[in-house]
Amino acid sequence: MPARRAAVTPTSSTRSLGGLRTGTISESQRTKGTAMRLPNVRAAIAAAPVSTALIVINIMVFAAINLEDRLFDVVSLPPSWEGVAAQPWTLLTVFFSSQVVFHIALTVLVIGVFGWRVERWAGSAHVLGVYLLAGLAGSIALVTTAQAIGFDARSLGPSAAFFGLMGALTALPRRAWWSKLPLDKLVVVALLFEVASPIMGIGSWVTSAAHVTGLAVGLGYGYLLRSRIPAEVPGESTLVP
């Protein structure tokens, strides 16, 4: 007599180890798990709308530049104040723009990590303030340095702005879990690299000037905010003494 096959319902799956049944996961459970994760993503976006908007804008500009080459000369920063006088908006557009995949990926990562935390702890207005002030200061430093040393290429990238976000988060009071990350040491390493890279021929004084200026603005902004940070933020650990 032929053996009967066990019926297997299409709405469940069974995990086994060495032929031993260990549990069943139904489709409804999977759907429920996915539904539980989606609100977390929405909550994260709602908690940091400005950081999310900055990421979206940077990605959109990155895509636009790569689809239309002529946009590069519209949004990139000229290397002289004469050029800036003809295109004053480039002092701002430069730090919303990227052209290579690595740069936009780094931008998304930095804003998503540092910007999100600054916004959660200090508020949306302040994360935007840090981004704009650090980016603008970096643009001014870049053009001034480029003109002083005779650098003649246009520049593109939000590095000064996200160095500012890193500096601001370093200066803000630490949360219990965040205090374990050596942000102050990271800042020191970044400063040393920015000074050493032009000397070693792997960087330029123009970009280093922009990065260091953005970092300094972020640190200063963060220290000014220290007294305004609330003792508790919903969903976050308490402040470290």
Instruction: State the pLDDT at residue 175.
Output: 56
Instruction: State the pLDDT at residue 50.
Output: 95
| Whether the predicted pLDDT of 225 surpasses 80 | yes
Instruction: State the pLDDT at residue 12.
Output: 43
| Whether the predicted pLDDT of 5 surpasses 60 | no
Beta strands 20-26 and 12-17: pairing type? antiparallel
The phi and psi torsions of 176 (rounded to 5 degrees) equal -55, -50
Instruction: State the pLDDT at residue 34.
Output: 46
Do residues 163 and 214 lie in contact, with contact meaning Cβ atoms separated by under 8 Å? Answer: yes
Instruction: State the pLDDT at residue 102.
Output: 92
The mean per-residue pLDDT over the stretch 205-225 comes to 93
The mean per-residue pLDDT over the stretch 212-241 comes to 74
User: Could you state, in order of their start, the residue ranges of all structural domains in the chain?
Assistant: 32-226
Instruction: State the pLDDT at residue 241.
Output: 38
Cβ atoms < 10 Å from Cβ of 84: 18
Instruction: State the pLDDT at residue 41.
Output: 67
Instruction: Give per-residue pLDDT as tens, 84-106.
Output: 999 999 999 999 999 999 999 99
Instruction: Give per-residue pLDDT as tens, 104-136.
Output: 999 999 999 899 989 988 889 999 999 999 999
Mean pLDDT of the residues in the chain: 80
Percent of the chain surpassing pLDDT 90: 52
| DSSP one-letter string for the chain | -PPPPPP--TTEEEEEETTEEEEEEEHHHHHHHHHHHHHHHHHHHHH-HHHHHHHHHHHHHHHHHHH-GGGHHHHSBPSSHHHHHH-TTHHHHGGG---SHHHHHHHHHHIIIIIHHHHHHH-HHHHHHHHHHHHHHHHHHHHHHHHHHT--S-B--SHHHHHHHHHHHHHSPPBTTGGGS-HHHHHHHHHHHHHHHHHHTSS-HHHHHHHHHHHHHHHHHHHHHGGGS-S--TTSPPBP-
The mean per-residue pLDDT over the stretch 213-223 comes to 95
| Whether the predicted pLDDT of 21 surpasses 50 | no
- Tell me the C-alpha to C-alpha distance, in Å, between residue 146 and each of 99, 152, 209, 225: 20, 7, 9, 32
Domain 32-226 part of CATH 3.90.1150.10: no
Instruction: Give per-residue pLDDT as tens, 23-55.
Output: 444 555 454 444 444 457 677 677 789 999 999
